[in-house]
Chains A and B, each alone.
Chain A
Amino acid sequence: MGEAKRRFPWEDLASGAVLLAVALLLLVQTLEMPAEASLYPQFVLGALAAASAALIIRGLVLRGGLVAEGPGLTREQLLRSAAMVAALVFYVILLPVLGYIVNTLWLVPAACLILGYRRVIPIAVATLIMAAGAYFVFSTIFRVPLPGGVLVS
């Protein structure tokens, strides 16, 4: 039986470096705070910096000894993930402009397609439920006005 393939833990190094940088930046900010307000953040940010540094050191010292080689994301899955992130960001940007109903009418079908689901009738029913159904429930039962957008206002 062959030994499981190992690889370099790049994600540990990258996440450790980002978190260490954030911790140090915020630590610098605490220097401008009064002592009463800065004691606790300095303690937790110090802990974050130390733990992030430990993650980087562990990755460098043990190299390929930690992470088992996994299948990883395919190119298609990466593209789909990026498309989903973009769709969600656009949805929130457009929410005050288009309003909840109009905006949801494009997001639900788009998200279904990105997730690989293509049957038209179930998508149409789900879109209708999530757009009009949810709008009705929120405005009448919860009395929460969902964004109407420029079209309604």
Chain B
Amino acid sequence: MLEPIAAGFAHALEPASLLAIVAGLIGGIVVGVMPGLTATLGLALLLPFTFWMNAETGLLAMGAVLSGGVFGGSITAILVKIPGTPASLATTFDGYPMARKGQAGRALSAAAVASVTGGVFSAIALMFGAPLLSLVALKFGPPEVFSLAIMGMSIIISLSAKTLLKGVIVGVIGLVLGAVGQDPMIGFPRFTFGDISLYGGVSLIPVLVGLYSIPEVMAIIERQNARLGVQPIVGSLFTGFRDCLKYNVTVIRSSILGVAMGILPAAGPEIAALLGYQEARRTSRNRERFGEGEVEGVIASECGNNAATGGDLIPTLTLGIPGSAAMPLFLAALLVHGLRPGPALFEGPQSGVVYTLIAGFLITQIIMLPLGLGAARLGMHLLRIPMGLLGPMILMLAVLGSYAIDNDIGSVWLMLASGLAGYLLQKAGFPLAPIVLGLILGPLAEANLHRALAMNYGSPAIFVTRPLSLALLIMAAVSYFVPLFLERRWNAAQAKQEASP
């Protein structure tokens, strides 16, 4: 196992790889800092352009955008009290009060060091955990893969913050879109309306780019007059090491929780950060200071959300099951380069790509420390870039990205139609990410459903009589209910804290 890891490090340390990491981190921090723009949008805009990079460079850039985006979100959370990404919500609880007390520098420094520590922890877990999990995945046949796809759909729970029914509906819309084109058994064209370009199915990348970019730009219209009250950065930016050493137990606990939440398909960085924060508050000697500017709260949240980022990659790479909202974009990036997630990714010539990504993820965390601290001051200026100027640039990147993927204006139409439909769905209160999930997992589920049924003369009993398939279905049920339980527990704890004098 060590030989491919060493080769991965050698590849990830090449100048082109390091350039991709630094550029990705800067891009990620920029989108993470801008309120309303998420790391997922950054990934969606970058995705079509990875087509022209080799697989390693493209994936390294995407990993860096994700890590930078999650950290960038904490800058806004601390300076403006707006979580730049949903994963930074828990950081606002103590980060912003610290900034108001004139400790913005200390909060940002603690957030940067905690993010990096959580990220390094998750990179190590990814390095050794992913190959082990892939060995289990080698035993999977069609019934297990189908059950796995069902488990993957459980992420809809965490993507449907307000209404599960609407999350389920858009997830099923994704499954319907995934059924467009020739069926996997006899090649019969379905819902193509005579259009030959639809025989291969709905093109994933234009749909992704449209869904993530157009609604964001349209949302700028609604908040164009919003003025942000940015707190100044006061205090040293180098106190984070001392704070993280002082609260080392919180760092380790939040990192472990983060990786675990990342591996669980239905829970991502958002839940990891909230859970890390909640546990830190429950066990801290300074629990009464939480919510009023306690640096331990910032550390717990930032360790948790960044540790979940690497954890998310474990089921994504080994099983092809996205670990969070951003992971379908990673899956799409792998597919663009002809790489199918699963055990085969860790063997043969393809393994070089995945080990470079894993090694690069660790290097990304280390580079993020100086870059992140530098970006904190830059973030203050970025927050003043008018969204009215940024919006058209996002639009043009979406047009270019969707056109360039196969030099076809039809793809631009598909991007625009997906984006506008997404905007309308969003206005009606539907989450958008489950559509992508359904679009990716639908064809996988269908092909393996047919194969599994054929193996057992059409009887669905095969899904519960094979131990691994049954275990996966039970885990799917757990995946559906655990995040609901954790969220309920979090809400109850919140309500209790608000009720107490």
Chain B residues whose C-beta falls within 8 Å of the C-beta of A19 in the assembled complex: 169, 173
Chain B residues whose C-beta falls within 8 Å of the C-beta of A142 in the assembled complex: 49, 52, 404
Are A34's CB and B389's CB within 8 A? no
Question: What is the CB-to-nearest-CB distance from B51 to chain A, in angstroms, rounded to a whole number?
Answer: 8
Are B427's CB and A11's CB within 8 A? yes
Are A134's CB and B396's CB within 8 A? yes
Are B430's CB and A54's CB within 8 A? no
Instruction: Give CA–CA (A144, B191) in the complex, Å.
Output: 31
Find A77's partner among B221, B395, B412, B416 (CB 8 Å cutoff). B221
Question: What is the CB-to-nearest-CB distance from B380 to chain A, in angstroms, rounded to a whole number?
Answer: 19
Evaluate whether A37 and B172 lie within 8 angstroms (CB atoms) in the complex, with A12-B429, A108-B392, A112-B388 already known.
Answer: no
Are B183's CB and A81's CB within 8 A? no
Are B221's CB and A44's CB within 8 A? no
Q: How many B residues have CB within 8 A of the partner chain?
A: 53
Q: Is B190 an interface residue (CB 8 A)?
A: yes
Residue in A closest to B49 when the chains form the complex, CB atoms? A142
Instruction: Give CA–CA (A37, B49) in the complex, Å.
Output: 34
Are B396's CB and A55's CB within 8 A? no
Q: Is B450 an interface residue (CB 8 A)?
A: yes
Are A130's CB and B396's CB within 8 A? yes
Are A51's CB and B221's CB within 8 A? no
Q: Is B113 an interface residue (CB 8 A)?
A: no
Chain A residues whose C-beta falls within 8 Å of the C-beta of B403 in the assembled complex: 144, 146-147
Chain A residues whose C-beta falls within 8 Å of the C-beta of B409 in the assembled complex: 92, 95-96, 147
Find A48's partner among B172, B186, B217, B425 (CB 8 Å cutoff). B172
Q: How many A residues have CB within 8 A of the partner chain?
A: 62
Are B222's CB and A138's CB within 8 A? no
Evaluate whether A115 and B392 lie within 8 angstroms (CB atoms) in the complex, with A15-B430, A51-B172, A77-B222 already known.
Answer: yes
Give A62-103 as 1s and 0s: 1 = Cβ < 8 Å from B's Cβ atoms: 000001000001000100110011001101100110000000
Question: What is the CB-to-nearest-CB distance from B285 to chain A, in angstroms, rounded to a whole number?
Answer: 34
- Classify the interface of chain B: helix, strand, loop or mixed: helix
Instruction: Give CA–CA (A21, B106) in the complex, Å.
Output: 56
Question: What is the CB-to-nearest-CB distance from A85 to chain B, in angstroms, rounded to a whole number?
Answer: 6
Instruction: Give CA–CA (A34, B190) in the complex, Å.
Output: 10
Q: Which of B341-399 contact A (CB under 8 A)?
A: 386-389, 391-393, 395-396, 399
Find A92's partner among B172, B413, B449 (CB 8 Å cutoff). B413
Are A108's CB and B396's CB within 8 A? yes
Chain B residues whose C-beta falls within 8 Å of the C-beta of A123 in the assembled complex: 389
Are B191's CB and A51's CB within 8 A? no
Chain B residues whose C-beta falls within 8 Å of the C-beta of A58 in the assembled complex: 165
Instruction: Give CA–CA (A94, B218) in the complex, Å.
Output: 21
Are B183's CB and A36's CB within 8 A? yes
Are B224's CB and A115's CB within 8 A? yes
Question: What is the CB-to-nearest-CB distance from A14 to chain B, in angstroms, rounded to a whole number?
Answer: 7
Q: Which of A7-49 contact B (CB under 8 A)?
A: 11-12, 14-15, 19, 23, 26, 29-30, 33-34, 36-41, 44-45, 47-48
Are A51's CB and B395's CB within 8 A? no
Instruction: Give CA–CA (A44, B425) in the complex, Å.
Output: 19
Chain B residues whose C-beta falls within 8 Å of the C-beta of A107 in the assembled complex: 392, 395-396
Chain A residues whose C-beta falls within 8 Å of the C-beta of B449 in the assembled complex: 40
Chain B residues whose C-beta falls within 8 Å of the C-beta of A85 in the assembled complex: 420
Q: Is B442 an interface residue (CB 8 A)?
A: yes
Instruction: Give CA–CA (A147, B225) in the complex, Å.
Output: 36
Evaluate whether A37 and B166 lie within 8 angstroms (CB atoms) in the complex, with A104-B396, A115-B392 already known.
Answer: no
Q: Chain A CB within 10 Å — which of B185, B389, B425 has the most?
A: B389
Are B173's CB and A48's CB within 8 A? yes
Chain B residues whose C-beta falls within 8 Å of the C-beta of A144 in the assembled complex: 403-404, 407
Q: Is A2 an interface residue (CB 8 A)?
A: no
Chain B residues whose C-beta falls within 8 Å of the C-beta of A111 in the assembled complex: 217, 391-392, 395
Evaluate whether A84 and B428 lie within 8 angstroms (CB atoms) in the complex, with A26-B191, A138-B400, A147-B409 already known.
Answer: no
Are A130's CB and B393's CB within 8 A? yes
Chain A residues whose C-beta falls within 8 Å of the C-beta of B400 in the assembled complex: 134, 138, 146
Residue in B closest to A19 when the chains form the complex, CB atoms? B169
Evaluate whether A117 and B388 lie within 8 angstroms (CB atoms) in the complex, with A37-B190, A40-B449 already known.
Answer: yes
Residue in B closest to A111 when the chains form the complex, CB atoms? B392
Are B188's CB and A37's CB within 8 A? yes
Residue in B closest to A134 when the chains form the complex, CB atoms? B400
Residue in B closest to A74 when the chains form the complex, CB atoms? B222
Instruction: Give CA–CA (A55, B176) in the complex, Å.
Output: 18
Give B136-177 as 1s and 0s: 1 = Cβ < 8 Å from A's Cβ atoms: 000000000000000000000000000001101100110110
Are A44's CB and B407's CB within 8 A? no
Instruction: Give CA–CA (A46, B383) in the complex, Å.
Output: 46
Instruction: Give CA–CA (A112, B183) in the complex, Å.
Output: 44
Are B389's CB and A81's CB within 8 A? no
Instruction: Give CA–CA (A117, B393) in the complex, Å.
Output: 13
Q: Is B279 an interface residue (CB 8 A)?
A: no
Q: Is B179 an interface residue (CB 8 A)?
A: yes
Q: Is B478 an interface residue (CB 8 A)?
A: no
Give B432-457 as 1s and 0s: 1 = Cβ < 8 Å from A's Cβ atoms: 00000000001000100110000000
Extra 4 A-B pairs, beta carbons < 8 Å, given A38-B190, A112-B392, A146-B403: A58-B165, A91-B399, A129-B393, A141-B52
Q: List 21 A-B contacts (CB under 8 A).
A: A15-B430, A23-B176, A33-B190, A44-B172, A44-B175, A47-B175, A48-B169, A48-B172, A84-B217, A95-B412, A104-B396, A107-B392, A107-B395, A108-B393, A111-B395, A112-B391, A112-B392, A115-B392, A126-B389, A138-B400, A142-B52
A residues sitting closer than 8 Å to B (CB atoms) are 11-12, 14-15, 19, 23, 26, 29-30, 33-34, 36-41, 44-45, 47-48, 51-52, 54-55, 58, 67, 73, 77, 80-81, 84-85, 88-89, 91-92, 95-96, 104, 107-108, 111-112, 114-117, 119, 122-123, 126, 129-130, 134, 138, 141-142, 144-147
**The 4 residue pairs across chains A and B that have the minimum distance between CB atoms:** A117-B388, A111-B392, A37-B188, A115-B388
